[in-house]
Amino acid sequence: MSGMKLAIAAVAVLGLAACSNNRWDDAANSGAGAGAGAGLGAGALDPASPAYFQQTIGDRVLFAVDQSTLSPEAQGILQGQARWLTQNADYVVTIEGHADEQGTREYNLALGARRANAAREYLISQGVAGHRLKVVSYGKERPLEICSNEACYSKNRRAVTVLAGGLTG
Amino acid sequence: MRKFLAALLIGAAAAAGAGAAMAQDGPLRIEIDQGVIEPLPYAVPDFVPETPAAAEYAAQIARVIAADLSGTGLFREVPASAHISKVTGFDNPVKYADWKAVNAQALITGAVSVNGNQLTVRFRGHDVFAEKELGTGLQFNGTTDGWRRMAHKVADAVYSRITGESGYFDSRVVYVSESGPKNDRRKRLAVMDYDGANVQYLTNSASIVLAPRFSPTGDRVLYTSYESGFPQIHVLDVGQVQRKVLSSGDGTMSFAPRFAPDGRTIVYSQTQGGNTDLYTMDISTGAKTRLTSAPSIETAPSFSPDGSQIVFESDRSGSQQLYVMPAGGGEARRISFGEGRYGTPVWSPRGDMIAFTKQNKGRFHIGVMRTDGGEERLLTASFLDEGPTWAPNGRVIMFTRESQGSAGRALLYSVDITGRNLKPVKTPDGASDPAWSPLQN
């Protein structure tokens, strides 16, 4: 784990040198479910960096209530993820499925697994090797937003593609 | 942790046996099934200390008995301030007139003696208006650190004699203790007496733990832990706090485990390729049997007490509903047909009912229904109620209630299966996923 943190720190430094590189600008749908860029201009990121994956491409897709089907928008984000993963073949990922709090614990675990698996299947259909893609569900255990209304629920019903392993696998 | 506890009959009637005592049908009787009832007034004066060291226990034991009985909502204590008589000797004749005058229909008297770390508690129940003993006196022996258990045993005996049902006070609850804000919640397993006393933590909060379940004898606990990064089923020996991982890891998720009544088999959910089905596993051999094979979600399984059937939830119809199937798998029949979604079914220890969580129109309910789905009755309603567990006598249900919003917090509540006596269960921190133990020996 600590090896991975070092690797991320290193690419962040390299990112400064690569700021003018905009080859990845066609990863259009970025902003849509991605976490806020927190003041970091996307242009400042190395396109091969995990930060670029998270912020510019978008590391997550969102779902409707009690659904695990991928919206056209979600498919666009996953297409961007698939391209990135194909070009950065050293990364393995864990896709984390989540549910909002409106549901029983066990059902939400199963629902989160469905969502994560829907994202995984789509990435495979876009050419990412299945052995690089693990899935895990957190059900309603790890909400991102904590209000009890749809504004928060819609952000919590998500499948997040978490980069892991890097060169160390 | 291991305490020796023995019950002995007191007095000349001892030879008649407890069975005969319990079967007595005096005027003192609460029919639990009736609608609204007037709580039965009773008095439990401080027990008589018979050795100097017994003084501190004598009063506290009476207080725990009172908390147990009044806590059911079926009994109402006549407070000590109203008592006319003082009980100064366990074998002194009871002045029934004094207890009639304050309208105490039942009276519990007792004595406590301490010898080293050995504690002896004797008690008698009295039917005040019939002016006779309520069943046979009993004696419990144990260690001083088990004094609360002895008080619970007395209360169980009184409850049982007056209601005709077995008690549930000498029992424990395993649950998930929760701390921290909603988006950084820390969870660890805890076990406590049913009334919230004697909390003991069984895991640290380094990884998420969910939904602990007692074995049929209360010695082991199954639960789901993310220790490996994936939800997996663990079994823990409560006395030794030894743990063992039951399910194989490697990218498959296992969760929602429960023991079969034989204590050797578990039933649980396993997820592969995004699809969740039901399995059983022999704990000692690890041999698995797949019970369902459907693209729908099958989870939250619970055995009938005779081990012949399993109730579970499935969204095979398009929404979460309850189904019952043979314990070995096979044809399942749907039993929930009301409006809304049904989950987390749990078979009553008496075998006659199934408790569940119902979600309808943005509200959550705890409810009960007959095992064929008939006579559905909702007991609670709130923003988020879920995960019922049965008291050992099948008369009371404990569950998780989570409050709304960013400061939302989970706490334990209990409610009678009549829907009466809804109340919070005291825990030191947030709490969820309670599971009630069987009655202790």
- Tally Cβ neighbours within 10 Å of residue B441: 8
Same domain? A155 vs A101: yes
Mean pLDDT of B388-407: 96
Q: What's the pLDDT score for residue A36?
A: 40
Residue-by-residue DSSP string for B66-107? HHHHHHTTSEEE--GGG--S----TTSPP-HHHHHHTT-SEE
Domain contains A133: yes
Look at residue A10 and tell me if it is in a domain.
yes
A128 & A66 share domain: yes
Spatial CA neighbour of A138 closest among A169, A167, A123, A160? A160
With respect to residue A78, please indicate whether it lies within any of the assigned structural domains. Answer: yes
Distance separating alpha carbons of residues B314 and B336, to the nearest angstrom: 11
The answer to whether the CB atoms of A114 and B404 lie below 8 A apart is: no
pLDDT at A10 > cutoff 50: no
Contacts of A105 in chain B (CB under 8 A): 210-211, 344, 386-387, 433
The alpha-carbon gap from A151 to the nearest alpha carbon of chain B, in Å, equals 12
Q: How far apart are the C-alpha atoms of A143 and A99, rounded to whole Å?
A: 8
What is the arithmetic mean of pLDDT over A12-29?
Answer: 34
Mutate to test the interface with B, among A69, A95, A109 (most CBs of B within 10 A): A109
Residues B26-54 pLDDT 10s: 567 777 666 557 899 999 999 999 999 99
Is the pLDDT confidence value at B1 over 50?
no
Interchain pair B208, A137: CB under 8 A? no
Instruction: Indicate whether A16 pLDDT > 50.
Output: no
Count up the domains in chain A and report the number: 2
Instruction: Note whether A31 and A65 are same-domain residues.
Output: no
The verdict on A69 and A20 lying in the same domain is: no
pLDDT grade, residue A45 (50/70/90)? confident
pLDDT of B121 above 50? yes
A144 token code pair: 């991102």
pLDDT band at B441 (very low <50, low <70, confident <90, very high): confident
- For A32, left (φ over 0), alpha (ψ -120 to 50), or beta? alpha
Evaluate whether residue A130 is within a structural domain: yes
Residue A31 clears pLDDT 70, i.e. is over it = no
For residues B174 and B189, is the Cβ–Cβ distance under 8 A?
yes
Is the predicted pLDDT of residue B58 greater than 50, yes or no? Answer: yes
Beta strands B40-43 and B106-115 are: parallel
| pLDDT given for residue B106 in this prediction | 97
Bridge partners of residue B368, in order along the sequence? B355, B377
Q: Give residue A39's domain range.
A: 1-46
Distance from CA of B117 to the nearest CA of A (A): 44
Chain A closest CA to B133's CA: distance in Å?
Answer: 48
Q: Is residue A52 part of a domain?
A: no
Nearest CB partner across the interface for A113, out of B274, B313, B384: B274
pLDDT at residue B248, rounded to an integer: 64
- Confidence at residue A88, expressed as pLDDT on a 0 to 100 scale: 95
Quick one: A77 and A122 in the same domain? yes
- Amino acid at position A128, single letter: V
* Averaged confidence pLDDT in chain B: 91
Task: Tell me the average pLDDT across B101-126.
Answer: 96
**At A92, is the pLDDT very low, low, confident or very high (cuts 50, 70, 90)?**
very high
Q: What pLDDT was estimated at residue B2?
A: 37
Q: Same domain, yes or no, for A96 and A147?
A: yes
- The residues with which B210 forms a beta bridge, in sequence order, are B224
CB A51 within 8 A of CB A80: no
Poorest-pLDDT segment among A142-156, B8-22, B324-338:
B8-22
Mean pLDDT confidence for A142-168: 89
| pLDDT, position B8 | 56
pLDDT of residue A169: 39
Average of per-residue pLDDT across A102-120: 98
Question: Do both A40 and A69 map to the same domain?
Answer: no
Mean pLDDT within A86-102: 96
The mean pLDDT value for B137-156 works out to 95
One domain, residues A38 and A88: no
For the four alpha carbons of B228, B230, B235 and B240, in that order, the dihedral sign comes to positive
Would you state the pLDDT for residue B51? 96
Least CB–CB distance from B253: residue in A103, A136, A146: A136
B201 at interface of A, judged by CB pairs closer than 8 A: no
Give percent above pLDDT 70 in chain B. Answer: 92
Model confidence at B305, pLDDT cuts 50, 70, 90, reads very high
Q: Are residues A101 and A140 in the same domain?
A: yes
Residue A54 included in any domain: no
Same domain, A104 and A152: yes
The C-alpha of A111 sits at a distance from chain B's nearest C-alpha, in angstroms, of: 8
The whole-number pLDDT of residue A89 equals: 93
Q: Is B261 left (phi over 0), alpha (psi -120 to 50) or beta?
A: alpha
Strand boundaries in A28-91, DSSP class E: 60-62
> Does one domain contain both A1 and A70?
no
pLDDT tens string B196-225: 999 999 999 889 999 999 999 999 999 999
Domain-embedded: residue A51: no
pLDDT value, residue B323: 98
User: Is the confidence at residue A11, as pLDDT, over 80?
Assistant: no
Q: Are residues A66 and A42 in the same domain?
A: no
Two structure tokens written together for B156: 């169980």
What pLDDT, in 10s, does the model give residues B243-260?
A: 788 876 567 899 999 999
Answer whether residue A70 shows pLDDT above 60. yes
Provide the pLDDT for residue B32. 65
Task: List the one residue out of B406, B407, B414, B408 whose CA is nearest residue B384.
Answer: B408
Alpha carbon distance B429, B205 (integer Å): 13
Residue A68: give its domain's CATH number. Answer: 3.30.1330.60
Residue B434, pLDDT score: 98
pTM: 0.88
Do the domain assignments include residue A82? yes
Q: What is the mean pLDDT of the segment spanning B225-251? A: 84
Residue B404: closest C-alpha in chain A: A148
> What's residue B26's pLDDT?
52
Q: Is the pLDDT of residue A12 over 80?
A: no
In the predicted structure, residue B105 carries a pLDDT above the cut 60? yes
